[in-house]
Structure 1
Amino acid sequence: MLDKNLKSEIQSAYSAFLQNRGLKPRVSQKQMVAHIARTLGGIKQTSEGERDGESHICVVEAGTGTGKTLAYLLSAVPIAKSRKKKVVVATATVALQEQLVLKDLPQLISDAGLVVRYSLAKGRGRYFCLSQAERHLEDQGELGQMALYEDEIARKLEPEVVEQYRTLLDEFASGRWDGDRDSLKDAIADDVWQPLTSDHLQCTNRRCPHFSICPFFQARQALDSVDLIVANHDLVLADLSLGGGAILPDPADTVYIFDEGHHLGDKTTGHFAYSMRVRGSQRWLSKTTRTLNKMLQDCGGHIVLTDYVQKLSTPFADLETGLEQMQLILDGMFRERIGKGEKRFRFAQGVLPPEIRDVCSGIAASSEKVVLKFEQIVDLLKESMDGEIADIQKDIAERWYPQVGVLLSRAQAVYWLARSYAKPDPEGKSPTARWISAVETADGDDMECRSSPVSAADTLREHLWQACYGAVLTSATLTALGTFSRVSNDLGLPDGTTYERLASPFDFYSCGELYVPAMRTDPKTPDEHTEEVAEYLDKQLPNVKAALVLFSSWRQMFTVLERLPDSIKNSVLVQGDLAKHEIISRHKKQIDNDEASIIFGLASFAEGVDLPGQYLTEVIITKLPFGVPDDPVDATMAEWIETQGGNAFEEWAVPMVSMRLTQATGRLLRTEQDRGTITLLDRRVVSRRYGRKLLDALPPYRRNFA
């Protein structure tokens, strides 16, 4: 039961916010505040402040224009503070994180009168590591970036990459850049950026000479003293995988708010996906032996360190034997398939042949021993850096610590994949997708073993829902075909979870039109359909001022772009050429300058893009957003559904399309004053039986079907 004083505090804050902002109350927003407050305020707790019971989670689908950010902040923050709990708001996109920190939370404090201290938290991979940058510029040889696979090992840097690294160092040193990748004006390629970051196994923490100005630790510094932390789904999952409370607050003392909650399932399965290249791992193993010998020389043959390295010889030999056996098996399996042009083989229902499972069991056992021994070496180097071991020089330990951290992380990757292959899935639970891909590398062909859970339910149930104090999941799109069944099953939500679906205040019928033109081709014939899409855009785009064109694949997007005349290309901003935020910024500038601007994008532009008013009047969707037909995870899930007596297309594929299509169409109307047209260049929405279900699940746009 919600305490009367808390209820009054929330109501007063809401009234003050509306009055100070000159806004009128929204029915759906008030309903959302009440629903979240009832759920969190109704959590029972023991005398020690621990949660007692399972009715601690609520799911709220809040239509566009509800004002869900204000609703969950106003309701959750006072309740969490009163119970001495932290609030972690986790989003799926950087844009929403920035909106929360730069706009929503300051407004909440100034206009609602709530006192809340907050900070932004991102993973290490988003921050510049000065030590790594200096290391790559100073030493591109033996102690350069190490990698699991030979073709990934850093060689002599290209001149343009060296120049980029120097520029980034200069920008950071001058104060013009804060070291956050997301604040860079120009996009930087992943393979260029990745060597400039660190992880918890490579970072020397307070022992680093740059610790006091480290972008990552400066961002982390205030977390202990705040009431609310803005994070992302990946960071929450990383914390949970370490047991919870390692990066973020203890889950038992945390109220999580998952905004853009429809992403949580995919983020979770991706977080627990593993891979291993067989020949690449063999080459890495050979290089690792040479690297460890070099470390022993630098450390003066330290007796304990020497003992650790010598004891690696047996598991190394066992691991090498296991990898050789794995290579022989896969060569036999793939010889005929590769000859036919097949590049990937998926194991039906994720079930591996006994010979592969047995070999991987051996690889898992030997690689686990390697992991444990590397952990001992890391601890020894850490003690040396702290001055606890005098016979290894501190500077040498500091130099080798991150390198051994890389070795440890790579050994873990081999172990996790091998364990996934060696251990059968529990009966009655969703399977793990397992497949092998033939890959071309700079050092020749290789076989990549991969695995991924097809469902996040069990993982989230164990590590999040059972552990947390409370949680809120919200998004504009959580239902699929009008029900919460999909999200409930996918995320493993407990029985006591409450659900609320709130309508948008927008007048969709008057403000937006859904237009499906006559089309000659079907997307199932992709080349012909792409040609017709190019023809349509060639005719229509010259008459459009502000448009977002959403494609289903890179190939289709670039093929269409090539077909268009320069008069149209000059107005097009293409995903991949610039960072997403820079594309949005340039788009707005062109519109403000009374110039036409057209954005070409894929799935990431189908959500999280907020272009109100004149900035977007046309959304063109080239085809229904079905998943890739041969995606191993989707295919394994489909098989499992069928074995359970279900219909994979109806229960898996169509609901997913429904959620994606609703997200994509939601780019058009961002305020009650917006007007525009959504064009769908896919007749299946009117010609197929499932099309009616998709249409009924969309907001009630005015329909125009040619």
Structure 2
Amino acid sequence: MIDPDDAAPDDVGALLGADGPFARELPNFAPRAAQQDMARAVAHAIAERETLIAEAGTGTGKTFAYLVPALLSGERVIVSTGTKALQDQLFFRDLPRVRSVLGSRVKTALLKGRANYLCLYRLDQTVRDGGSLDPAQSHQLAAIRQWSARTRHGDRMELAEVPEESPLWPRATSTPENCLGAECPFFDDCYVIKARREAQDADLVVVNHHLLFADLALKQEGFGEILPGAQAFILDEAHQVPELAGQFFSQSVSARQLSELGQDALTECSGITGAIGLLLEPVEALQEALKKLRAAMEALPARGPFAELDSRAVVRDGLRDLVELVATLSDQLASQADRSRGFANVYERSLSLSERLERVVEGQAGEARGVDVRWYELFPRGFAIHATPLDLAAPLRAMRERTQAAWIHTSATLSVGGDFGHFARQLGLEDPQTLSLESPFDYVRQALCYLPPGLPDPAARDYTDQVIEAVLPVLEASNGRAFLLFTSHRALRRAADLLRSRVPWPLFVQGEAPRHRLLEEFRASGHGVLLGAASFWEGVDVAGEALSVVVIDKLPFAAPDDPVLVARLEALEQAGINPFMGWQVPSAAIALKQGAGRLIRDVHDRGVLVLCDPRLLGKGYGKLFLASLPPMPRTREVIDVRAFFAQAQTG
């Protein structure tokens, strides 16, 4: 076992070197200077409680580079990842390997949000109410019941046969609103409580960004904490943090939350004398008001600034009525709160929702939040209203200062043309330590960047048609094996329609099957063409020959209908900063790096990156995008693409 006292920052790098234990004990482990440099920087940041931004190119091995110093630090460390899938990979695959090589006895724990754990009380309720289920759901409920008798951790991830999107899961898991807490009859066997206790006792806890920010936001509100206090926070996939932080420092209320509040209030009336007579009328009035309000919003865009709602008298009046109806329901629930633990819970929810609703509708930001951007979004049968802080830097800075801990942010995509200023500004990081580590991949030999000539302006009506025409010769040269990324779902659908009748390879189109299944089938096909947008720009990891081409249709500028973005850009302009070059270009450059990063995933990969947007060469800011990409040769000639793939076949 390696003694933490012997693992000073300089020595941490040596552990990952050619003469270290990882090279000796792990098959196929390749020592990398960049990985060793990052490990030293992370060890130093933890020891000195510093803030570090570490950009590590694909293939650096950043997971080991932060796990080794974290386990040897002797400090309590929270490691946060971008998704639950990455969280599981880190905890069940990477962490055991590193612990084994180090001989580490550090206590570790995995902690997810409560919706990932089976709730025995909710399951019991659903079983009792089983008559309302269709045959498929009855089968899934039986599977959940059988699993509940043998699971140790109650983590939904263990039960693959019930799909993640099954409507049964919300009925067999809890939310902060419907959890009965210590008064629950199943409290002693609660999986959420067990997972939290393990996290409280552990020295290294693996979480995801959603949970981390939910907890830190709760701490800020004074509700207590889920996660233990830590001396270091390591945020992997840190490029996702600005957007997620915006969600968690927002105040939001949805029609669904209010409707469920009413339904749950009526459910609690069962067996309680006089309750239904008191609550039926206010609940029915609330449900009717929600329907009328959603109908009044029908002609509005899918999302927009709150001023759009205020400008329509019927919507404005409907929101004011809603505030009063929720306050009335809350008053009625107060008289029932001491009659059952369920009623007490529903009453607490009604107070919270009533306060939030009034705050968003009336635009009361509160001193600590600064200026809020109020906005709305519509869903097929509902809506949500939000108040998001215009400047996230201030609450994030205050949050970090309270922790008095090291904060380490790492990702393959944090800088723009080598500059970390945009990322640091978004998070309010002042004078952080920075580290930029090049990928060990040989992009000059392994990759080619093709910029098709003759494409029209991306705003042209037939732009997607022209993109497909330009891409077809590339697909022929690569024999499929391609991933086409689009900046809009409309362009994605148009491209899919055009390709169906024109290519002999199997097409895998986002939205036609769950993401994980599309990726599995694409890998297995060998020559497939995968089309994706939005979430497919990152987290897609297909090493080997199944993926040899990545096509990007346009520069991924954020949607101009995002009301929070519009308000931020206006504020930047008022502060004398060019919002396009100061915000929109850097954000899009980081997103482009994410998409381009899908191409080369290991030292044996070879592939062509096709960037279709003519603004890359026609506009001055195009140079900044190109400078942010890995150093691969560029061409405008399709003959070079054919030669690249012909060389692979003869090599």
Q: TM-score by structure 2 length? A: 0.81
Structure 1 residue 78 corresponds to structure 2 residue 56: no
* Residue in structure 2 matching 1:250, options 213, 228, 231: 228
Letter in 1 for 2:580: F
* Residue in structure 2 matching 1:553, options 488, 495, 501: 488
Inter-partner Cα distance in structure 1 for 2:34 and 2:464: 41
Partner residue, 1:631: 562
Q: Which digits, 9 at most, give the CA deviation of each residue in 1:327-350, with x for residues without a partner?
A: 99x99xx98x977x6565525799
Shift of 1:490: 0.9
Structure 1 residue 19 corresponds to structure 2 residue 10: no
Taking a change above 3 Å as real, the CA distance of residues 687 and 569 of structure 1, as seen in their structure-2 partners, is same
* Residue in structure 2 matching 1:66, options 60, 65, 70: 60
Inter-partner Cα distance in structure 1 for 2:543 and 2:353: 44
Shift of 1:664: 0.9
Shift of 1:359: 11
Partner residue, 1:513: 448
Shift of 1:515: 0.9
* Residue in structure 1 matching 2:509, options 571, 574, 584: 574
Partner residue, 1:102: 92
Partner residue, 1:144: none
Shift of 1:407: 5.9
**Is the 1:172–1:178 Cα contact (8 Å) retained in structure 2?**
yes
Letter in 2 for 1:504: S
**Mapping of 1:479-628 within 5 angstroms?**
479-493=415-429, 495=430, 497-525=432-460, 527-536=461-470, 540-541=474-475, 543-565=478-500, 568=503, 571-590=506-525, 595-628=526-559
**Mapping of 1:314-329 within 5 angstroms?**
none
Q: Which digits, 9 at most, give the CA deviation of each residue in 1:17-37, with x for residues without a partner?
A: 233236453222222122222
Q: Which digits, 9 at most, give the CA deviation of each residue in 1:557-579, with x for residues without a partner?
A: 23322333368586233334444
* Residue in structure 2 matching 1:681, options 603, 612, 615: 612
**Is the 1:625–1:661 Cα contact (8 Å) retained in structure 2?**
yes
Q: Which digits, 9 at most, give the CA deviation of each residue in 1:123-165, with x for residues without a partner?
A: 1112333443443353379xxxxxxxxxxxxxx5555444444
Partner residue, 1:696: 627
Taking a change above 3 Å as real, the CA distance of residues 23 and 450 of structure 1, as seen in their structure-2 partners, is closer
Q: Which SS does the other structure have where 1:624 is aligned?
A: coil
Partner residue, 1:49: none
Mind listing any 5+ residue stretches in structure 1 that lack a counterpart? Answer: 44-55, 142-155, 382-396
Taking a change above 3 Å as real, the CA distance of residues 275 and 425 of structure 1, as seen in their structure-2 partners, is closer
Q: Which SS does the other structure have where 2:126 is aligned?
A: helix
Taking a change above 3 Å as real, the CA distance of residues 413 and 107 of structure 1, as seen in their structure-2 partners, is same
Structure 1 residue 457 corresponds to structure 2 residue 399: no
Q: Which SS does the other structure have where 2:403 is aligned?
A: coil
Query: Aligned pairs, how many?
Result: 626
Inter-partner Cα distance in structure 2 for 1:161 and 1:413: 31
Inter-partner Cα distance in structure 2 for 1:186 and 1:299: 35
**Is the 2:200–2:228 Cα contact (8 Å) retained in structure 1?**
no
Shift of 1:657: 0.6
Structure 1 residue 267 corresponds to structure 2 residue 259: no
Moved more, 30-39 or 358-367: 358-367
Q: Which digits, 9 at most, give the CA deviation of each residue in 1:211-270, with x for residues without a partner?
A: 67655455445323322111001111121122279554433x341110011111111111
Shift of 1:107: 1.4
Partner residue, 2:119: 129
Partner residue, 2:355: 415
Letter in 2 for 1:127: Y
Letter in 2 for 1:435: W
Inter-partner Cα distance in structure 1 for 2:227 and 2:254: 36
Taking a change above 3 Å as real, the CA distance of residues 106 and 654 of structure 1, as seen in their structure-2 partners, is same
Taking a change above 3 Å as real, the CA distance of residues 362 and 215 of structure 1, as seen in their structure-2 partners, is same
Partner residue, 2:128: 138
Partner residue, 2:586: 655
Inter-partner Cα distance in structure 1 for 2:36 and 2:158: 34
Inter-partner Cα distance in structure 1 for 2:335 and 2:45: 46
Partner residue, 1:232: 208
Q: Which SS does the other structure have where 1:435 is aligned?
A: strand
Taking a change above 3 Å as real, the CA distance of residues 175 and 570 of structure 1, as seen in their structure-2 partners, is farther
**Is the 1:544–1:618 Cα contact (8 Å) retained in structure 2?**
no
Q: Which SS does the other structure have where 2:394 is aligned?
A: helix
Structure 1 residue 666 corresponds to structure 2 residue 603: no
Inter-partner Cα distance in structure 2 for 1:491 and 1:470: 15
**Is the 2:51–2:433 Cα contact (8 Å) retained in structure 1?**
yes
Q: Which SS does the other structure have where 1:242 is aligned?
A: helix
Partner residue, 1:42: 48
Inter-partner Cα distance in structure 1 for 2:500 and 2:137: 33
Inter-partner Cα distance in structure 2 for 1:459 and 1:674: 42
Moved more, 267-276 or 132-141: 132-141
Inter-partner Cα distance in structure 2 for 1:615 and 1:195: 39
**Is the 1:61–1:501 Cα contact (8 Å) retained in structure 2?**
yes
Shift of 1:105: 1.1
Letter in 1 for 2:21: A
**Is the 1:186–1:582 Cα contact (8 Å) retained in structure 2?**
no
Shift of 1:702: 1.1
Q: Which SS does the other structure have where 2:518 is aligned?
A: helix
Mind listing any 5+ residue stretches in structure 2 that lack a counterpart? Answer: 638-651
**Mapping of 1:64-213 within 5 angstroms?**
64-79=58-73, 81=74, 85-139=75-129, 157-170=133-146, 172-173=148-149, 179-181=155-157, 184=160, 187-189=163-165, 193-205=169-181, 208=184
**Mapping of 1:367-446 within 5 angstroms?**
380=338, 397=340, 401=342, 405=345, 408-409=348-349, 411-424=351-364, 431-436=371-376, 441=381
Taking a change above 3 Å as real, the CA distance of residues 428 and 646 of structure 1, as seen in their structure-2 partners, is farther
Inter-partner Cα distance in structure 2 for 1:101 and 1:428: 36
Q: Which digits, 9 at most, give the CA deviation of each residue in 1:187-234, with x for residues without a partner?
A: 443755433321234234566565676554554453233221110011
Inter-partner Cα distance in structure 2 for 1:226 and 1:625: 40
**Is the 1:240–1:464 Cα contact (8 Å) retained in structure 2?**
no
Letter in 2 for 1:230: V
Identity of aligned residues (%): 28
Taking a change above 3 Å as real, the CA distance of residues 185 and 355 of structure 1, as seen in their structure-2 partners, is closer
Inter-partner Cα distance in structure 2 for 1:129 and 1:569: 48
Shift of 1:677: 0.8
Letter in 2 for 1:646: I
Shift of 1:175: 6.5
* Residue in structure 2 matching 1:471, options 390, 407, 425: 407
**Is the 1:548–1:620 Cα contact (8 Å) retained in structure 2?**
yes
Inter-partner Cα distance in structure 1 for 2:257 and 2:88: 40
Letter in 2 for 1:604: S
Inter-partner Cα distance in structure 2 for 1:185 and 1:615: 27
Taking a change above 3 Å as real, the CA distance of residues 137 and 576 of structure 1, as seen in their structure-2 partners, is farther
Letter in 2 for 1:623: K
Inter-partner Cα distance in structure 2 for 1:651 and 1:350: 30
Letter in 1 for 2:387: S
Inter-partner Cα distance in structure 2 for 1:454 and 1:679: 36
Moved more, 344-353 or 255-264: 344-353
Q: Which digits, 9 at most, give the CA deviation of each residue in 1:610-643, with x for residues without a partner?
A: 2223242211112211111111111111111112
